[in-house]
Structure 1
Amino acid sequence: MSSTAPVPEGRPITVCEVGPRDGFQNEKTFIPTEKKIEIANALFASGLRHMQVTSFVSPRAVPQLADAEDVLAGIDRPDGAWVTALVPNLRGAERAANCALDAVHTVVSASETHNLKNVNRPIDQSLTEFEAVFDRLKTAGIAVEGGIATAFGCPFEGVVPAEQVARIARRYQELGAESVSLGDTTGMATPLTVRAAVRAIRDAAPGLDIHLHFHNTRGVGLACVMTGLAEGVTHYDAAVGGLGGCPFAAGATGNICTEDLVYLLQESGYATGVDLDRLIDAALLAQSVIGRELPGQVIKSGPRLKRHDPELTTTAAG
């Protein structure tokens, strides 16, 4: 298997915010369109420049994202922004082609059972249908990022061989994708499975850029990020406040938290271009809009060197 040198300290790392899509889609109470736009703008204002803003899925299947076009039309795009959306099929691609997008994100599961549960078709049928999606979006001047769900394990089948993930990645490359995102849909990723998948893809599809999308279901999401960095991966998805999950994966919880990821990267010597204090403010805004405490840690404690007034702190007695 091939290997890659670790990402050197000081190297810029791309943090892609997926909360407005992957996080909001799981909320049962509809988030008003203007609030979605406000949160997205606050995240951009923190310095984030990559964002998966919404999804062109059926409004019946995911009513929370029925306002996709309105949200995309309403956000303030800063210079250098890379705005994406998820599309499940050609119908979604047709909608996306009429919006101001830099790229769309397709998704197929590495597990046959999960793909049947998620989109009601076998893996190879999904990949064949993506041919029309790639063609349509190429005509519209929109890039396509290939997504692979359950890349590190399946709640129905268990182990997903790295060779299966690499086969799908190679097919995406043949379709015209320049990048592939490995989704830890069920939080089953470990440092060992991450290393195996990344190396298998580099062997099967040389030159294909690899993105990593971890959930924190079992508490090792950030440990998997460190493994990714050791393997030379420089692009990571995360969701504000740790929002997210998968409705078709039993026991799945949220994505790794954007504030926690940015804190880890910056404290490890990497550049993110993000103002952590402003990012925490954006997370607090999202928490207020959603109306419950979010699972992120840095949102609670603040940056490492945050100062507190000793006069306001209880002194031990005795």
Structure 2
Amino acid sequence: MGAHVLGKDLDGLAASARAGLVREIGASGVWDADPVWRRAFEAVPRHLFVPYYYVGVRGGYERRWGESPDPRTRERWLRGAYADAPLATRLRDGELVSSSSQPSLMAKMLVELEVADGDRVLEIGAGTGYNAALLAYRLGDDDLVTTIDLYPDITEAARQHLADAGYHPAVITGDGARGVPERAPFDRIIATCTLTSVPPAWIAQCRPGARILTPLATGLLALTVHDTGYAEGRFLPTPAYFVPLRGDTRPEPEPAHLGAIPRRARENELFRFLLTLTRSGLDPQEAYALWEREGEPTRERYGITVTKDQEWAWLDDPEGPYVWPLR
């Protein structure tokens, strides 16, 4: 395909690029457990959800735009839209506030959400609307999908992108930590932003047996709701780095001073995960001692328990010797 792509040529390139992305994600085997998600990624055109995005360059960001008068720029924009990479879509005062997640991570999260026909799903973090479109395609019913974001400009754009692609789920402007009680109860909640703890409102708005999948402490937490005030679950092995949940008023703790920690631990991704997870309960030296003593535990050995009054993280056993408060 030449550099000067216009009209139908651009549509053809989009179809080809989307098929290439689907093949790349599928090669990992991520869809083996639920092949319908492959059809969703084949059907939903990601480029409609990212009419522009930002690429990091020296000194800041460069905007790539699908309506650029330069055909070469339009082609770069389109190819980038189908790269297996996160895309920065909203900047505020030079800070990233919204993005389109890496498609392969989205695919893994959607499979791990274990959606069944007829499930009501709440997405925390509407972003571009792409993930909500994938959910709407999977469920075959727009009314089963609700997505929420804090900023009106983000929800307005997501609503428009979804309409352009032929989907009309409920798009709500509000604080995701409070959930969407008027659309509850939910069978599944998926968050596309990272949290410091699990909001009690989410548990309260779920049916018993519901599944919640959320980034937390650079990991992906899968919780099962047992009743309106109690949920428990473990982390998946997958690392996950997302924009923080906006509207969460709890401040992020200052980064711990790690000077006394050996370099091999400081640079180890699993130790950093432990450090983030235990920052309310252990100092770095205590975290390092635990990490060494327990044989450098992987993410799936950790879990979270949420009750009406408490929330704590644990290693191996929620009632074992290693527990730390989250709130």
TM norm structure 1: 0.30
Higher helix share: 1
Structure of greater Rg: 2
Higher strand share: 2
- Greater RCO between the two (CA within 8 Å, min separation 6)? 1
